[in-house]
Amino acid sequence: MIKVLFFAQLREVLNCASLELEANVSNIAELRAQLAKKGQRWQEFLASDKALVAVNQTLVNEDCTLNSGDEVAFFPPVTGG
């Protein structure tokens, strides 16, 4: 299983804080594509130019490989400080 978390505006527009998926996607690009199937909002807000992504709490790129047990988080560009 892969655990997927959503933060801030993403959590609100998707109305979802977290979900779990079978680990049948091999990288981030595939995970985005799989989640986009959940509907229009998912497709729009999880686009790679809108949502940053971290795997096991580290920012990564689209080709980052995924393994069962990973924690993936999608979130909007950060605005702290």
Binding positions for another protein, rule: CB under 8 A: 5, 7-9, 12, 54, 57-59, 71, 73, 75-81
Q: Which is nearer to another protein, 37 or 58 (CB)?
A: 58
Write the CA distances from 17 to 8, 44, 48, 63, integer angstroms.
9, 17, 19, 24
Q: Tell the smallest beta-carbon distance from residue 8 to another protein (Å).
A: 4
Q: Tell the smallest beta-carbon distance from residue 60 to another protein (Å).
A: 12
| Rounded distance between C-alpha atoms, residue 8 and residue 74, angstroms | 10
- SS3 of 48, please? coil
Q: Tell the smallest beta-carbon distance from residue 57 to another protein (Å).
A: 4
